[in-house]
């Protein structure tokens, strides 16, 4: 990648969505009602991707943007397992349970805050209700190396888990202290070795840049330590500083958070370093070895972006189970409540704990297709979009194409009648490049508290 003009790039730093969904979660509301949601579930066809949210953590990492419940009471965890099972029962009344499950993910929270027998209980129950589990299912879990033992690993092996994502964030002791997550390198190394011992095919480590006290030099040391673990994939996320939404982020002294120019330097360096080490960049924040299945998917235009990042399993309906989880069908997003009392009340009343969502109209579907193609493949195949949606691209997206001119003039992308192609340096600004296609962005213009910054 050529050297980027840091001053020019940092001018693009502005609030913007990460586009794990389109429309974004800010558009979710109760206009999309419960009965309509049930209709979609009941009419759904084809393969399923299932996400189970285990929201509990022992203590807060101050950078964390997840929906988490902090507790040391084990009985809360076991109560929640009972509710999950009942939620699965209700779901099974509204979904054709013969549909094939081709993807499963445990997220959180800290899924491995649960003991092995509880994780086993959830998996056994889910698989008894959704028995058509593909032998090739991509089955994955997020693991905090500080809470991980061999008994849990045996449960994951028993249920065919083939991907593990280890949360690391940063190895630097000063940064770890500031973010309230002390995790020695040896702890992470032991966790990765345990997963390898049990034959896990794909090991991912998650890092975050933009955290307090990070510098280019300190992050380089983190990258080298992460590299020494030889992960198959690395996710290197841009820290989303949203203290108006997350109280723990207010604990940071904002003057210690790296400036946009420093973040860009770190990102550029990360790309250069990992590329030199044999990894290739996928989408805006993932790196993988060239033999990874994600590359084959890029070549075929089959790489997709969803709430778990990048995936090759794009055609499946996503069913979210548990507090705050999000489901996705072709024409809707549906989110469960974030409030534990409401979650339990809904299930006690025999209802799904659905709270809000959005039903996509034809314009949303079209824009989603363009934005997700940009986010996943850094390009848009214009004839494909025209054929699939029956539009004249130049006419329909005249405004967006006008807004892309500034990126074109800066040689960050090119536009021809056939294709929008983002240049390698433009990939660092992919969120900015996608935003002109977002019909809802105008609503948030000038509202600094809508999204995290793009740079």
**Distance between alpha carbon 342 and the CA centroid of its chain, in Å?**
25
Q: Is residue 309 within the footprint of ligand SF4 (CB under 6 A)?
A: no
> From residue 142, how far is each of 75, 112, 148, 240 by CA, in Å?
22, 8, 11, 19
Which residue, 67 or 220, is less far from ligand SF4 as judged by CB? 67
Residue 69 sits in the site that holds ligand SF4 (CB under 6 A): no
Using CB under 6 A as the binding rule, whether residue 60 contacts ligand SF4 is answered as: yes
Q: CB-wise, 62 or 393, nearer to ligand SF4?
A: 62
Using rule CB under 6 A, residue 439 touches ligand SF4: no
* 318 part of the interface to ligand SF4, by CB under 6 A: no
Does residue 413 touch ligand SF4 according to CB under 6 A? no
What minimum distance in Å lies between the beta carbon of 106 and ligand SF4?
A: 12
108 belongs to the binding site for ligand SF4 (CB under 6 A): yes
Question: Nearer Cβ to ligand SF4, position 109 or 322?
Answer: 109
Tell which one of 27, 118, 120, 144 touches ligand SF4 (CB under 6 A): 144
- Cα-based distances in Å from 30 to 27, 35, 310, 336, 354: 10, 11, 28, 11, 10
Task: Check residue 400 for interaction with ligand SF4 (CB under 6 A).
Answer: no
Asked whether position 57 contacts ligand SF4 by CB under 6 A, the answer is: yes
Is 240 one of the binding residues for ligand SF4 (CB under 6 A)?
Answer: no
Strands 202-209 and 163-169: parallel
Nearest distance in Å: CB 143, ligand SF4: 10
Distance CA 74, CA 372 (A): 40
**Cβ pair 409, 447 in contact under 8 A:** no
Q: How far, in Å, are 39, 47, 48, 94 from residue 97 at the CA level? A: 15, 10, 9, 9
Of the ranges 54-62, 211-219, 224-232, 355-363, which one interacts with ligand SF4 (CB under 6 A)? Answer: 54-62
How far from each other are the two terminal CA atoms of the chain, in whole angstroms? 17
Q: Which two tokens stand for residue 273?
A: 């370093």
Does the footprint of ligand SF4 cover residue 242 (CB under 6 A)?
no
Q: Near ligand SF4 by CB under 6 A, which window of 60-68, 258-266, 271-279, 434-442? A: 60-68
User: For ligand SF4, which residue of 4, 48, 61, 435 counts as binding (CB under 6 A)?
Assistant: 61
Residue 436 sits in the site that holds ligand SF4 (CB under 6 A): no
The piece of 62-70, 97-105, 365-373, 422-430 that touches ligand SF4 (CB under 6 A) is: 62-70
- What is the secondary structure of 273-339 as a DSSP string? HHHHTT-EEETTTEEE-TTSHHHHHHHTT--EEETTEEES--SSEEEEESTT-EEEETTEEEEE-S-
Work out whether 64 is an interface residue with ligand SF4 (CB under 6 A).
yes
> Is 66 one of the binding residues for ligand SF4 (CB under 6 A)?
yes
Count of beta carbons in the 10 Å neighbourhood of residue 367: 23
The minimum distance between CB 212 and ligand SF4, in angstroms, equals 15
Q: What's the min distance (Å) between Cβ of 58 and ligand SF4?
A: 8
CA pair distance 124, 120, nearest whole angstrom = 6
Residue selected from 167, 327, 329, 436 as contacting ligand SF4 according to rule CB under 6 A: 167
CB under 8 A, 24+ apart: contacts of 425-430: 425/1, 425/2, 425/4, 426/378, 427/281, 427/284, 427/378, 428/4, 428/9, 428/264, 428/267, 428/268, 428/284, 428/455, 429/9, 429/12, 429/454, 429/455, 430/283, 430/284, 430/374, 430/375, 430/378
Q: Which stretch binds ligand SF4 (CB under 6 A): 64-72, 331-339, 383-391, 405-413?
A: 64-72
Tell me the sheet residues that pair with 257.
none
For residue 109, the minimal CB distance to ligand SF4 (Å) is 5
Closest separation in Å from C-beta 51 to ligand SF4 = 15
Residues in the site for ligand SF4, rule: CB under 6 A? 57, 60-61, 64, 66, 68, 108-110, 144, 167
């Amino acid at each position: 990648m050529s050297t980027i003009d840091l001053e020019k790039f940092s001018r693009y730093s502005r609030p913007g969505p990460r586009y794990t969904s389109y429309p974004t979660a800010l558009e979710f509301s109760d206009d999309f009602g419960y009965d309509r949601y049930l209709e979609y579930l009941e009419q759904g066809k084809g393969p399923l991707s299932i996400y189970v949210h285990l929201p509990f953590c022992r203590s807060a990492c101050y950078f964390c943007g997840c929906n988490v419940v902090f507790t040391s009471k084990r009985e809360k965890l076991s109560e929640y397992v009972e509710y999950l099972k009942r939620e699965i029962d209700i779901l099974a009344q509204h979904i054709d349970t013969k549909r094939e499950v081709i993807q499963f993910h445990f997220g959180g929270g800290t899924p491995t805050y649960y003991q092995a027998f509880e994780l086993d209980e959830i998996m056994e129950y889910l698989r008894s209700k959704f028995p058509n589990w593909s032998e090739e299912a991509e089955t994955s879990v997020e693991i905090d190396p500080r809470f991980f033992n061999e008994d849990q690993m045996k449960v994951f092996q028993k249920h065919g888990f083939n991907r593990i994502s280890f949360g690391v964030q940063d190895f630097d002791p000063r940064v770890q202290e500031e973010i309230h997550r002390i995790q020695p390198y040896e702890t992470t190394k032991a966790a990765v070795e345990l997963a390898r011992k049990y034959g896990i095919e794909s090991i991912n480590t998650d890092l975050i840049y933009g955290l307090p006290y990070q510098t280019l030099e300190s992050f380089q040391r983190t990258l080298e330590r992460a590299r020494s673990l030889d992960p198959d994939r690395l996710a290197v996320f841009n820290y989303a500083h949203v203290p108006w939404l997350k109280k723990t982020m207010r604990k940071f002294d904002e003057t210690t958070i790296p400036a946009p120019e420093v973040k860009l330097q770190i990102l550029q360096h990360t790309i250069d370093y990992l590329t030199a080490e044999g990894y290739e960049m996928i989408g805006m924040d993932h790196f993988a070895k060239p033999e990874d299945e994600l590359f084959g998917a890029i070549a075929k235009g089959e790489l997709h972006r969803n709430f778990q990042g990048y995936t090759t399993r794009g055609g499946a309906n996503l069913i979210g189970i548990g507090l705050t989880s999000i489901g996705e069908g072709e024409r809707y997003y549906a989110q469960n409540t974030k409030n534990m009392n409401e979650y339990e009340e809904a299930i006690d009343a025999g209802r799904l704990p659905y709270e809000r969502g959005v039903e996509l109209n034809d314009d949303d579907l079209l824009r989603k297709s363009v934005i997700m193609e940009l986010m996943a493949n850094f390009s848009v195949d214009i004839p494909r979009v025209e054929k699939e949606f029956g539009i004249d691209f130049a006419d329909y997206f005249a405004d967006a194409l006008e807004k892309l001119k500034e990126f074109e003039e800066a040689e960050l992308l090119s536009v021809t009648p056939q294709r929008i192609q983002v240049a390698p340096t433009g990939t660092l600004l992919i969120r900015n490049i996608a935003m002109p296609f977002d019909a809802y962005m105008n609503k948030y213009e000038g509202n600094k508290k809508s999204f995290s910054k793009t740079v």
